[in-house]
Structure 1
Amino acid sequence: MFYELATLTTRLFTTAQATEGIQAWVQAPQARGRLLGCWYSDIGALNQVLVLRAFADEAEMLAERRRALLSSNPFNCGELLTGLEMHGYAGFPWMEPPAPGSYGPIYEVRTYQYKTGGLQPTLDAWQAALPARNEISPCLLAMYALDGTPRFTHFWPAASLNERSAARAAAVQQGVWPPKGGPQWLTSQMQSQIFLPTAISPLK
Structure 2
Amino acid sequence: MFYELVTLSSHILKLPEVIANAEVYLNHPKTAGCWLGAWTSENGRLGSVRILRRFVDAGELSQERTRALHHANPFGAADGTCTIEMESYAGFPSPRRAGFVRQVLRVSYLLAKTRRTGAYY
Using the size of structure 1 for normalisation, the TM-score is: 0.44
CA contact 1:11–1:80 (8 Å) conserved in 2 = no
- Runs of 4+ displaced beyond 3 Å: none
C-alpha distance after superposition, 1:95-146 (max 9, x if no partner): 9xxxxxxxxxxxxxxxxxxxxxxxxxxxxxxx96xxx9xxxxxxxxxxxxxx
The residue aligned with 1:41 is: 41
SS at match of 1:78: coil
Q: Name the structure where strand makes up a greater proportion of residues.
A: 1
Give 5+ residue unaligned stretches, structure 1: 96-126, 133-204
CA deviation vs aligned residue, 1:54-95 (integer Å, no higher than 9, x gap): 001111011111111111211012227432110111112249
- What residue number does 1:55 align with? 55
Question: Partner of 2:31 in structure 1?
Answer: 31
Pairs within 5 Å for 1:94-109: 94=94
Q: 1:93 to 1:81 in 2, by over 3 A?
A: farther
Letter in 1 for 2:91: G
Larger Rg: 2
| Counterpart-to-counterpart distance in 1, 2:23 and 2:82 | 19
Residues 38-187 of structure 1 correspond to what in structure 2 (within 5 A)?
38-79=38-79, 81-94=81-94
What is the CA–CA distance in structure 1 between the aligned matches of 2:61 and 2:5, rounded to whole Å? 11
Q: CA RMSD in A?
A: 2.2
> What CA distance in whole angstroms lies between the structure 1 residues aligned with 2:90 and 2:55?
10
Alignment TM-score, normalising by the size of structure 2: 0.72
Judged with a 3 Å threshold, the aligned counterparts in structure 2 of structure 1 residues 84 and 28 are, in CA distance, closer, same or farther, namely same
CA–CA separation in structure 2 for the residues paired with 1:12 and 1:79: 15
Letter in 1 for 2:79: E
User: Are positions 1:20 and 2:20 aligned together?
Assistant: yes
Identity across matched positions, percent = 37
Q: Which residue of 1 aligns with 2:6?
A: 6
3-state SS of paired residue (1:42): coil
Whole-Å separation in 1 of the counterparts to 2:89 and 2:17: 27
Select the structure with the greater relative contact order (CA < 8 A; seq sep ≥ 6).
2
- Structure with greater proportional helix content: 2
* Distance in structure 2 (CA, Å) of the matches to 1:80 and 1:11: 11
Q: Which runs of 5+ in 2 are unaligned?
A: 106-121
CA contact (8 A) 1:18 1:80 kept: no
State whether residues 4 and 89 of structure 2, in contact with CA within 8 Å, keep that contact through their aligned partners in structure 1: yes
